[in-house]
Amino acid sequence: MKLSTKGRYGLRAVLDMALYENEGPITLNSIAERQGISEGYLEQLMVPLKRAGLVKSVRGAQGGYILAKEPKNITVGEVIRALEGPIAPVACVSEDYPEECERAEGCVTRMVWEKVRDSIAEVLDSFTLEDLVQESRKYTSQNSYMYYI
């Protein structure tokens, strides 16, 4: 029941982008440095984030990545789903295409997993990047450039 680094790193990356939003395109290199994540790995995470319409890339020198929507319109749930796939504690109750199961009819554990799925989704969908940015600024003194994530 653990998130992989895809989801964790990916959320930190987009949150980093939200924090430095006014500085133009953010390079993977700078995110990687601030967050202590391998740049090559971050690169792989950007593919699904772009596909999900959460970030946009700017190629060439002075390029980088920017958020495709305002932080207040990006939920943690969207980011996690983009990177980890639909929320599904077990495959047969996946949010989008639940896997068929012979035992499905009358399966009683399924209702447990459905509730787990919904409660996870509810929490993840209740936070926007903006919420986290604001929370982060609380911890950050006026002059500090250190943001915690």
Partner DNA sequence: CTAATTCCTATTAAAATAATAGGATTTAAT
Partner DNA sequence: ATTAAATCCTATTATTTTAATAGGAATTAG
Give me the 32-61 binding string for DNA, x by CB under 7 A, dash otherwise.
-----xx-xx-xx-xx--x------xxxxx
DSSP H helical segments within 1-149, as ranges?
5-19, 28-35, 39-51, 76-84, 110-125, 129-138
Rounded-to-integer distance, Cα 127 and Cα 9, Å: 17
**28 contributes a contact to DNA by CB under 7 A:** yes
Place of tokens 């990047």: 129
Element (H, E) at 23: none
- Pick between residue 68 and residue 131 the one whose CB is nearest to a second copy: 131
Residue 29 binds which entry of DNA, a second copy, none, with Cβ cut-offs from 5 to 8 Å by kind? DNA
Query: Which residue ranges make up the site for DNA (CB under 7 A)?
Result: 4-6, 9, 27-29, 37-38, 40-41, 43-44, 46-47, 50, 57-65
